[in-house]
Every structure is written in structure tokens, then in C-alpha cells.
Chains A and B, each alone.
Chain A
Amino acid sequence: MLTALLAIGSATLRLWSPLVLAAMGGVVSERAGVVNIALEAEMLAGCFASVAAAQATGSPVVGVLAGMLAGALVGLLHAFFTQYLRVAHILSGVALNLALLGFTSYAVRLYPGGSLDTKATVPDAVTTGLAFVAVAAVWFVLNKTALGLRLRAIGENPEAARSAGVNVPAIRYGAVIVSGALAGLGGVALALAGLGAFRQNMTAGRGYVALAAVIFGRWTPLGAAGAALVFALGDALQQALQTDGRLNIPPDFLTLLPYVLTLLALGFMGSKTSAPASLGTDDVSV
């Protein structure tokens, strides 16, 4: 019994770390007022770049850095599209998701057999540890620093923040780029940690799940981390139930479990929304 619970616990943490890292990215970007549906693209970029770099150099550390850098670059594009070109945030995000899916699928086919693998992996414990650090860091910066206060102010009312002397574009650019780096690290946790393989479309929608966790967690770091944990626990549980097999529930139903748990959690938490007021709008100061 104890070993079974430990097994579910460690599976939960492994499934949680990619999700929560991307969700932290979502919190940082959205609290600054930029909708980041491009988390999926940033994760996928992180998956590809980390495995490709680790394979090329044989160094897992280089792989981790490359994954974060690739996510940050996609974040920079998202910032450029939404802040400079004034593209609707959702539109830019969807465009980036399609573009990165196409690009990484093409790039992986340049490798023999269309499969990209490396032995230079990072232990799961490292990315899980980084996930805890990321939650703590995002919580601290948002709630305990002047920078966090400015970022939140921009998210609520960019006009007022600007009149108070806050450099709105700089902080929004910064927030979206950091957001990309965090989601890229989520990609590292998915592809490089423990697995060491990139395959076409391997994120399989985790970026969207992370964004849902941000919303369920009411745009707070701890709330989003909790929502991601509920989802990961649901996934680990359904896998354990499938393996156990005694309940004899069709797997199609069992795979719904994480979604059902998340919905239930949302129901118990009530429906008070607390989205940043300026979310998705343009800042007119540029």
C-alpha cells in the first residue's frame, strides 16, 4: 500500500513539473496583461531545442539552457507581435502554436529516421526541484518586490502605471520573454528529463492545460501550481487504476479523470473571477 502511494506520488511530481513550469510562465505574462496562449509553442520549442542541443554537445546543462532560450525567443516573438505590431493576443498565440508545430515537425525529419534522441538527460528530480524553485520565485517577485508591484499594476491599469512613471513596454516585453523561458523549461522537463527524446507534437496540448491551470488558479502562482497538481494527480491516478485493472473501467473514461478532478476543484472554489483588468488589451503608450 505504502509503496503504491509512493509510486503514485512520484508519478504525480513527474507529470506536474512540465505543467507547472509552463503555468508559472502563464502567470507572469498574464499578470502583466498579455494573454499567453503561445505556452504550447514555447514548450514545444523547449522540447526540441533541449534535446537537439544535448545531443549535439553531449551536455545536459547546455540542453537545459537551450530549451529555456528557445522558449524565450518564442516569447520575444509573441511580445513583438502583441506589443509592437498590436496583433490580438490570441491570434498571435495561435499563429505561433501552428508555426512552431510545423517548424519542429519539419526539423525533426532532418534527423535520421525522424527521431531525435540523446543519452545526455537530466534526472527528473532536477526539473521537479526547478519547478518548486520557479513557483517560489514567481510568488516572491510578484508579491514581495517593487518590480512585481509594477508588473501587477500594468496588468490592472497600464495607463495609471505609465502616469506613475512605470516603463510599461519594457516590463511587458520582459514578462513575456521570461514567460517563454519558463514554458521552455517546462519543455525541458517533458523531453529531456528522464526521457531524452523529441517526437513530433510531443507536448500534446500540455500548454493549453497549463493555461487552464493559470485561470483555475486565479492568476496566482500558488493557485496555478495547485491546479496543475490536481491535474497531474488525476493523471497519475488514472494510470495506476489502469495498471491495477481490478475496477475494469474502460480506459477512455479513466483518461477523463484529470479533467473531471479539475472541474470539481473549480466548482468547490466558486466562480469569483479575478483576471487582470487589462488582460488582452493594447497599451496605448507606445
Chain B
Amino acid sequence: MPNTSTASPLFARRRLLFAALSAIALAPFLAGCPANNESEQKPAATGGGTTGTPASGKTIKAGLVTDTGGVNDRSFNQMAYEGLQKAEKEFGASIKVQESKANADYVSNLSRFAQGNYDIVFAVGFKMQDALKEVAPRFPNVKFVIIDGDAPDLPNCASYKFQEEQGSFLVGALAGLMTKTSVIGFVGGEQMPLIQKFEAGYKAGLQTTNPKATVKVGYANSFSDPQKGQELAISQMNAKADIIYHAAGETGVGVIKAVEAKGKGFYAIGVDKDQDGEAKGRVLTSMVKRVDVAVFQATESVSKGAFKPGSTTVGLKEDGIALSPMEFTKQDIPAPIMARIDALKQQIIDGKITPPTTPAELAEFKPPVEK
């Protein structure tokens, strides 16, 4: 009979060794807690002392807590930091960044800035919603701003959200004008209201410029599964789709790679950040959420003493949503098409077109009559 008991002292000693090894392996994770994060503030050192003259006597102190993506993520966190740097340059805000190593760090990182008497503290990403709910009531004199999430209903809290449906409308309109097959694709991460907002705007844009075209839709049920994204894109391209927009986080990497492998005649459309460089010439454009603009605006409002609590929604009008500069595809897009897209953008800004945000609104949506 195999012996599975723990009686032997030899094995007891070996188990102790396992416990010791586990402790060593886990040490870096445990150390992610408050105590050691002081050393993580490197980015703030770049230019901290060389600020310009403050606009109104007092220099405002602005702190930024990144989510676990870190400040060099080429996405939300990095854009948020660029917004702060602009504030530093334009009205001499004193800025500092705190990277979060784990979800458990959010509360302590937000509290640290608040205790340091910062005027405004940014929380980047909806993942920090709960942490903010916990911290904000304890520091009524500090302004908290959450980017792309919901803020608690307090006078010192504000949230910035983005009208993704507007940008999605424009890329859908562009895809409708650029498609050679009159079939385009959409790959979503999970079928939830946020992602359906992208889908609804995209379809409405297509209906506006190319009513006869159809959209192939696929959901991967994951935001971190590139293989699923790749296979959905291949399946859609087999069904004649030649332009595919993704709203699927890292799953979308697979969409871009699949389109890149197909080569000329096929395009992907990036999301959130400028992804045009990920497959030069094969990413038609990207629907960018300008987190930097939101962060700069909020910092400026505090420096002018005009902080507005509650939810602020930014879209094309506020430059909070934009298409990428199309660095690698500009030459492929005919001028009349670009002009049409610019005209549609103006109509959205003027409120003449309201892109739908849900499947129900999409069903009601009537494409505008263009002159």
C-alpha cells in the first residue's frame, strides 16, 4: 500500500522546506503592499523641479495612481501621465505618479496622495471604483477623479467617461466607404453594455455610408485570448469581411495579427489607444480615447478653482474621442472619403447626428440624410 501519511520526520522536514520556498517565491507579491512603493515614483522625478510659473500664485499638486498596467503601458496609464505632463508644462502643476503593482494597492496608493495634501488625485481605470469609494469619504478636502469609471456620489469626486459610440460611428462610416466587398467585421471581448456601445455606434456608422453592407459580429468571451481573436477574424475574413474593428483588449492583438497575415486588401481597426503602428499599413485607423485630454481638463479645472463634481462625458466635441492620425494608411484613403468623414464628425459635434449606444437605440436609428 502506498503510504500517504505525514508521520515520517524526514518528510515533515521536507514539507518545511516547501513552505520556506513558497514564502521566498511569494515575497515579491507581498512586498507590493504600501511600504516599499516609495521607490516606484521614478517618473515623477523627470522634470519635477523645472516647472514654469504658476498661473495663479499657488502651485497645485496633482497625483496619478495607475492601475496594474503601469505607466509605460502605451495605453490609458501612459496617456493619463501625458495629460499631467501637459498640465505641468502649461500651468506649472506639481505632478507625481504612483504605479499599482496589484489590485490590492489601489486603496493605499490613493490614500498616500490624499495624506500628502494633494489637490487632485487621479484614479485610472474602472478597476479602482471600489478603492475610490473607500478612500474619498475620508479626505473631503482632496479632489478625486476617476477615468473611465463611476465615481461615488460625493462633492469631492468626479468621473470622466467617453462617448465611445461617437468614435465607433466614425470608424464604421469609414469602413463602409473603404470596403471593397461590402462586408465588414466586429470582434468584441464580452457581450456587455460597454462593448455593445462600440458595436451599436459602428453599425450605425456603416448604415449611414453604406446601407447595403453587412457586419459579421463575433465575441470571444475574453479580453485576454489572442488566439480566439485571431480565429474569429480569420472566420470573418473567410466570409468576405475585409475590414475588422475590435473592442476586445488583448484579444484584439489576434485580430490585428490575422489581418496582417492576410496582407494587402484587408484592414483592422484599433481601439482605445493608437494601435496603427502594431501592423504598419494594415491598421486603417484607431478609435482613440483621449485620456490625456480628460486628465488635463480636470487638472486645469482645479487650478482655476472650478472643479465640477459628478460625471463628465467627453466625446468628439471635447476632443476626448478621436481617430488616430492614420500615419501609415493616409495615402490609401481617397480625399473625398476623408472629407465625408470630417463632415460626419462635424454633424456629431453639432448634435445633428446622435450615434446609438445600445442595440435598442440602434434599431431606432435612422441614417441622416446628407446633402
Contacts and interface: CB of A to CB of B under 8 A. Distances in A.
Contacts of A102: 29
B219 A284 contact: no
A251 B191 contact: yes
- The interface size bin for chain B is 35 or more
Contacts of A196: 257
Contacts of A84: 14
A166 interface: no
A109 B98 CA distance: 16
Contacts of A201: 224
- The interface size bin for chain A is 35 or more
Interface stretch (A131-139, A220-228, A234-242): A234-242
A252 B238 CA distance: 22
Given A159-B2, A252-B191, A243 B236 contact: yes
B231 A15 contact: yes
Interface in B76-123: none
A194 B230 contact: yes
Contacts of B224: 199-202, 204
Interface in B212-262: 216-219, 221-222, 224-228, 230-232, 234-236, 238-239, 250, 253-254, 257, 261
Contact of A204 (B14, B216, B217, B222): B222
Contacts of A244: 239
A239 to B, nearest CB: 5
Interface string B182-194: 0000000001000
A86 B219 contact: no
Contact of A200 (B3, B22, B25, B250): B250
B55 interface: no
Interface of A: 3-4, 7, 11, 14-15, 18, 81, 84-87, 95, 99, 102, 106, 109, 112-115, 117, 158-159, 190, 194-197, 199-202, 204, 235-236, 239-240, 242-245, 250-252, 255, 278, 281-284
12 contacts: A3-B238, A7-B238, A11-B235, A14-B231, A85-B15, A87-B15, A114-B74, A202-B225, A202-B226, A204-B225, A236-B231, A282-B2
